[in-house]
Copies of this chain bind each other. A is one copy, B any other.
Amino acid sequence: MLPLPPDPTPVDPAPKQRVQDEIRHDIIFGSLQPGTRVTEAVLAAKYGVSRIPVREALRALEAEGFVESKPYAGSTVSEIPVDDADDLFSVREALEAATARRAARRAAAQFSAGEPSAEWWKARRSLADLLDVGDKAVAEGNLQSLPELNIRFHLGIADLSGSASLTALLRQISGKIEWLYATDVDNRGKQSWSEHRSIMAAIDAGNPAEAERLMAGHVHQSRVGYLDRFATP
């Protein structure tokens, strides 16, 4: 008997994650404007799921700072204040400097202790592929895919650092980073992406100081470029 495809209509394996990403995307790219009142029931109907996944997604987005909720009063899309960008960048600078430093230290440790572990290789390979994909995107000029690739790269570095705490923290602010990046991709996108390879090289070389320096500079450049463009004197 032929094993027919058991999924005529492919069911969602994880509606929660999908809904969360969809809502965040809609906020970042303007489809859901700040101040909009979002109710669980409406979103549930919109994405074809029940209220529970929507609820979890809203909680996560609240932690990321994209929506605000008051008990029994509902949720609204947050105003994303441009003022916060500078502070966010300063935090991100410290955070990502730490992940890069640790990633380099861990890479050196992996190689000095015989063969690197399988999961390390997997993460490393994933990053290599990501760099290629990003380069191609830059070459082809479709910059709109860069924000997501960018955040995946930085999360990948955090993965390599082996620190669950730092990774979780970066994941928390990754949404905001994507938002900042999306607003400035036309200006800094190309150059910013090209810096990723040198960071990766420093990590591969097992040079913590250099990796930290490059990553700090990378983030700092983004910061300067952003503030230069959206200066609020």
Chain A residues within 8 Å of B, Cβ to Cβ: 14, 56, 59-60, 63-65, 68, 71, 78, 81, 83-84, 87-88, 90-91, 93-95, 97-98, 102, 163-166, 168-169, 172-173, 176
Which B residues are CB-close (under 8 A) to A71?
A: 14
Instruction: Pick the residue among B68, B88, B95, B172 that contacts A63 (CB under 8 A).
Output: B172
**Bound: A62/B166 CA distance, A:** 13
- A87-B102, A98-B87 known; A173-B164 Cβ under 8 A: no
Q: Is the CB of B95 within 8 A of A91?
A: yes
Chain B residue nearest to A88 (CB atoms) is B165
How many copies make up the complex? 2
Known contacts A83-B163, A90-B94, A169-B173; can you find 6 more A-B pairs with CB under 8 A? A78-B164, A87-B163, A88-B166, A90-B98, A91-B91, A165-B176
**Bound: A65/B90 CA distance, A:** 22
**Bound: A168/B62 CA distance, A:** 9
Name the prevailing secondary structure of the A interface residues: helix
Instruction: Pick the residue among B59, B81, B166, B168 that contacts A165 (CB under 8 A).
Output: B81
Q: Is the CB of B63 within 8 A of A165?
A: no
Show 25 residue pairs from A and B whose CB-CB distance is below 8 angstroms, ordered by the A residue: A56-B56, A56-B59, A59-B59, A63-B168, A65-B165, A78-B164, A81-B163, A81-B164, A83-B163, A84-B163, A87-B98, A87-B102, A87-B163, A87-B165, A87-B166, A88-B165, A90-B94, A90-B97, A90-B98, A91-B91, A91-B94, A91-B95, A94-B94, A94-B95, A172-B172
**Bound: A102/B65 CA distance, A:** 18
Q: Is the CB of A166 within 8 A of B84?
A: yes
**Bound: A56/B65 CA distance, A:** 17
Chain B nearest CB, measured from A17 CB (Å): 9
Which B residues are CB-close (under 8 A) to A14?
A: 71
Chain B residue nearest to A63 (CB atoms) is B63
Q: Is the CB of A164 within 8 A of B65?
A: yes
Chain B nearest CB, measured from A25 CB (Å): 19
Q: Is the CB of B60 within 8 A of A63?
A: yes
Which B residues are CB-close (under 8 A) to A163?
A: 81, 83-84, 87
Instruction: Pick the residue among B68, B94, B97, B169 that contacts A172 (CB under 8 A).
Output: B169
User: Which of A71, A87, A93, A173 counts the most chain B CB atoms within 10 A?
Assistant: A87
